[in-house]
Amino acid sequence: MANRFLTLSDVAELLNIAPAQAYTLVRTGELAAIKIGARGQWRVEDRALEEYISSLYTATAEFVAHHPR
C-alpha cells in the first residue's frame, strides 16, 4: 500500500526541487498541506500533489499558447 501522505522531503524529491522550495510552496498556499502533531509536521496528500502537478501542466500550456516563439 502506497503512503497517502508525503513529507516535504518526499515532495521535494518527487518534484526534483530543494526541500526549502517545497516548504515555500506549502507556506504560500500554492500546494495544499496539513500540519500534524504537536511538532507540526507538514504532510501533503498524494492526491493534492497530483492536482498541483496537473495545474502546472495547464498553466504551462496556457503560457505557451500566449507566448509563441
**Residue-level pLDDT, tens digit, the chain, 69 residues:** 678 999 999 999 999 999 999 999 999 999 999 999 999 999 999 999 999 999 999 999 999 999 988
- Structural domain range at position 42: 5-66
Tally of domains in the chain: 1
Detail the DSSP E strand segments found in the chain.
5-6, 34-36, 41-45
Q: CA-based angle 63:65:68, to the nearest 5?
A: 95
